[in-house]
Amino acid sequence: MGSHAPFWGAPTSYLNFCEEDYAITRYVAEFINTLSSFVYILYGLYGLHQLHQRQQSGPRSIPYCGLIGVGVCSAGYHMTLKYHTQMSDELSMHLLTTPLLYRILTFQSTPQYTKITGIILSILFTIVMVVHMVMDEFLLHAVSFGAAVLVITIRTLRIIPREIKDQRARGRVSRVALFGVASFAFGYFVWLIDEFACGVLTGVRGVVGLPVGFLFELHGWWHVFTAIGGYIAVAIIDLISSGEVARDSVEKLAWPLPVVGRVLGDGIDGNEKRK
């Protein structure tokens, strides 16, 4: 694949991924990484559409808007490979996790605890972003984002069995939640491969050619799997904190989650019946 003259000029971001720059068009630096970022946007739009149908937007729409923001900023970053778009991409990740942290940590809490939690999270968000952008300190951003994901995961998995009384609904929601964790973990796994085995991946793409070579753009798969995991976190936290979990809740989530709920549920239910 040959490179085109970059429309956006030379990259100024301090991270550049394994995908060859400007290989498809001069207007997009990393074509697959940009295109795959739209998965976040699609899941966010689906969530907003579901809320609109139930006439329940307002504050509940904020995390879905955060998911859309991640997609927009990620696409802008991979399209231009500029420093300021990289900063917006990393900022958007915290704009998604911070409202989720606030919602899951203040669930069924007192007004005083809710207020204090909001203040603490706002202060931590400001510190992380100022240090990250002023000092170009990537480690704090990565650690704080990872810690936020971990807290959201642990807290959500603990609340599900406590708040969902219906056994079948609880089982399906739990399995979808665990699928979200697995999706995020697998996305991180392929991100590591893309980072540390770039030479091998580039060689494979050169051998198989296009369009099959697109399948080996693993950072793009990181976007897909983390978009699924992020959407699951937003949707399940919204369901639990709103008290709207029902037997058919998983069926109303975006693809492939209804399939996941049915397939995993049928397999587990079948094993239980045979015992």
Q: Is 52 annotated as a binding residue?
A: no
Q: Is 217 annotated as a binding residue?
A: no
> H-helix or E-strand containing 145?
helix 138-163
Q: Is 219 annotated as a binding residue?
A: yes
Distance of alpha carbon 109 from alpha carbon 117, whole angstroms? 10
Q: Is 132 annotated as a binding residue?
A: no
Q: What is the CA radius of gyration of the chain?
A: 20
Give the DSSP per-residue string, 49-81: HHHHHTT--GGGGHHHHHHHHHHHHHHHHHHH-
Q: Is 218 in contact with 194 (CB distance < 8 Å)?
A: yes
**C-alpha torsion sign, points 183, 166, 52, 237:** negative
Q: Is 30 annotated as a binding residue?
A: yes
Angle between helices 167-196 and 138-163 (to 10 degrees): 160
Peptide bond into 211 cis (omega under 30): yes
Neighbours of 134 (CB within 10 A): 8
User: Which contacts qualify for 74-79: CB closer than 8 Å, 24 or more apart?
Assistant: 74/33, 74/37, 74/40, 74/223, 75/34, 75/37, 75/38, 75/41, 77/13, 78/17, 78/28, 78/29, 78/30, 78/33, 78/34, 78/37, 79/8, 79/27, 79/28, 79/29, 79/30, 79/34
Q: Is 177 in contact with 250 (CB distance < 8 Å)?
A: no
| Residues of the binding site for Zn(2+) | 78, 219, 223
| Residues of the binding site | 19, 30, 78, 219, 223
| Residues of the binding site for Ca(2+) | 19, 30
